[in-house]
Structure 1
């Protein structure tokens, strides 16, 4: 009989079996996410007649629901059965997807409010389960393999999202907006998401849970919350997380509306862009996971975060080009860049929070990180939705003019509506990157050294897929050795400087 009780002794075989199930389970939880979140959720809401404010509220629900992790801390610390909490909340929460599937055949304010309520219940129970899940994974996965394990898991999540994303794009492309056929498409997506979610919960129930250490005394939730706030380094991480989450969630929830309503592209094209982004995500994950394990999560973040912010700001270019073909190519390029960079941000931001949390008592630290994320990421799309009408009535026109003997060249730039969102997100993102520089993580290296190592990894990958790999390797060997030697020298200097600073402090 399947047991949800924690184990006093988790053998190496049990641990490896659990890590294997952790990766396999991602295929089913990834299926649920691919069919019921992101672009699909926004598209479904638009299909039901949602306004910009409603889109913002729906986008904020998964984040604001994370505030329930505060009472969840007390639940985990008192019950000390993280598996039972994770499985129970998953089963009840994902049953809400069946309710949402039925709503595809109704229109009006009532179904929209029920849709929102179901989403809130799903996200709320998911947040409670996530509090137990994250602390459970902190004790199950070995610290030196966090990057490797979660990179493999994320690769599965992204791979299934790509496959199902293509299926969703094909289904949406073959059905007319507002038609009864599209009703059935959305109902099928959310119904299938419910089934895969329940299978995911079954696999989670088979994973071993290490027994939590005995509670030192009565649980004081307020003290648990204050504990990570007294940690100066973790507090600096929380400031970065807050500013970063507000920056990206101020703009990204409205990408679908921007592309469909302002640029006038089909919804199926938006889904295809999402698929391309996920493919880039898969291709980049292995490199980011390797680099985060070899060096430090902050070093990877220092490369990925600025890249992602620049790509968001560059979305402004999509409204400046006159040719729709150029706009399509521009959107494809930006989604590939965002997919590759967000892979590193997602992986390493999760890992750095886990790494800076004390082993065996990570619940409060993980929950504090989640609550800060909830407030910042949840407030951003609501603010964005409320300001939609304000920015829709504003416009900035700039003209760059070059005058020379050959004539006059003028480059007009017009910022309207959603363009303001991308610009504001970029400015807040720059502040977030500054805050990241203040966080200390053991083993970090300089950004230039990380970029150099990234180029080395990329060159190796390209060489492996080249039809003349042997010839390339033979002719490029001396240059590669010199570059690797210079990189090792930089790393030694960085590590020595770090050790010197630490010794001076102590």
Structure 2
């Protein structure tokens, strides 16, 4: 393909990722929690909203068939356009003369439509970008793309939190949320136009015939089976705690939207700074050793949340920095590993299998956690000491993460190499051989989950 055309497509992808982060800042995270609080949603509704992005992974299989039937680029553009205009009903929702129950139903329906269409786009986008980005530079390219997008997302998230805090003080929360929904629709149209600037290299034409054998092939592949098991365990651990973290900061720790946004922005900045280094490590050593190293550290994140209190914020600040660095590496590696084990022509169905099993695990765990939080007393006892229901859920999440870390030892990746001991002491020395430039081939390709649809990043902080 023409180098000039490729460069223009890659630059358009970076710009699209930046705008997509702004869309999610206006319609997800603190904004969706603000909608839930404004409409009086309880823990069950919060858990359901948190589970929707992963429950929608059930759309991956139809997405794989549509990608092979109509083409990756065409499906990605159509579904991302519809997905980012699904927020239009929220623009008028605060002003409708309907009951609170009806408004909560509309919120859930909008979120379900957005995430369902986004999953269809996700499958097509992964297939498209897998062909577009040269394998030897995927880790570095997506690491830099993630860094730039994350910085923009951090600034947008902080601005959203500040706006919601000011609106709550002046009792104009509904107006602020409607304005954010309208902004998300406008930016969504811009991001679709930027995505349309990328071309389709069509390196591996995908046959349109649907056969059950193609769906079941990941189950017959030993590396894929182990990755499926790990993905189920890890997403279940995230589902136990992730949807309730923002609620925990706002209600249990008494933080305002501004401080919640500051915590999210700090995590995003840590991810931004670490992403290029992790990308080079993945290109040089493979995704498996990076994933294993990160998941071990992420076991401690829920423990730090439990240690925090209304007058003790330092564990949250520590997790924002260290957890952000580890989540950056895990997010890059968690999507690079499926690409490493999936045959190019079967990539849509492999990706569908990985995403569907992980999403179902997250959704079930999140729904179970929401029901458990409602069933527990307000101040349960833990080893004779008073606790809260959310802290108990976080401890369960830490145990589940530990189990996922054990499963990560069984993962397989062709041509992966162990991280050198110097990587933990001097990242710059460990990465020195990987700085020769884009023209030098790398032994192991990698990539990350696209911004067009969360899956990642998972919604856990």
The two structures have a TM-score, normalised by structure 2, of: 0.88
Aligned pair in 2 of structure 1 residues 394, 206: CA closer, same or farther (>3 Å)? same
Residues in 1 aligned to 2:26 and 2:428: alpha-carbon distance in whole angstroms: 32
Structure-to-structure mapping, 1:20-39, within 5 angstroms: 20-39=11-30
What pairs up with 1:107-126 in 2 under 5 angstroms? Answer: 108-126=100-118
Equivalent of 1:364 in 349, 369, 372: 349
Cα deviation, 1:19-62, whole Å, max 9, x if unaligned, reads 22111211111110121112221122111111111111111111
> Which residue, 179, 183, 186 being the options, matches 1:188?
179
SS of equivalent to 2:73: helix
Q: Which residue of 325, 334, 338 maps to 1:353? A: 338
1:130 aligns with 2:122: yes
CA distance in 2, matches of 1:69, 1:37: 21
Is 1:301–1:348's contact at 8 Å kept on the other side of the alignment?
A: yes
CA RMSD, 1 decimal: 2.2
User: Match of 2:425?
Assistant: 455
Greater Rg by CA: 1
1:161 matched residue in structure 2: 153
1:438 aligns with 2:430: no
* Residue 357 of structure 1, CA deviation: 1.2
- What is the aligned partner in structure 2 of residue 415 from structure 1? 387
- Cα separation, 2, equivalents of 1:217 and 1:285: 36
Query: How far did residue 264 of structure 1 move?
Result: 2.0
Matches within 5 A, 1:36-185: 36-79=27-70, 81-106=71-96, 108-176=100-168, 180-185=171-176
Choose which of 347, 358, 367 in structure 2 pairs with 1:373. 358
2:457 matched residue in structure 1:
none
Given that residues 228 and 357 in structure 2 are in contact (C-alpha distance below 8 angstroms), is that contact kept between their aligned partners in structure 1?
yes
Alpha-carbon displacement from aligned partner over 1:411-441 (angstroms, at most 9, x marks no partner):
xx54321111111111111111111111112
CA contact (8 A) 1:23 1:149 kept: no
Per-residue CA shift, 1:246-291, capped at 9, x if unaligned? 1012102101111221222223221211111111111111211111
**Structure 2 counterpart SS, 1:387:** helix
The gaps in structure 2 that reach 5 residues or longer are 433-461
Counterpart position of 1:470: none
Q: Secondary structure at the match of 1:208?
A: coil
Matches within 5 A, 1:469-484: none
Decide whether aligned partners of structure 1 residues 460 and 453 sit closer, same or farther in structure 2, where only a CA change above 3 A counts: closer
Q: Which runs of 5+ in 1 are unaligned?
A: 1-9, 400-412, 462-479, 481-506
Contact persistence 2:64–2:348 (CA under 8 A): yes
CA shift, 1:217, in A, is 7.3
Q: Distance in 2 between matches of 1:76 and 1:430?
A: 36
Q: 1:126 Cα deviation (Å)?
A: 0.8
Count of aligned pairs between the two proteins = 430
State whether residues 90 and 198 of structure 1, in contact with CA within 8 Å, keep that contact through their aligned partners in structure 2.
no
Alpha-carbon shift at residue 349 of structure 1 (Å):
0.3
User: Larger relative contact order (C-alpha < 8 A, sep ≥ 6)?
Assistant: 2
Shift of 1:353: 1.1
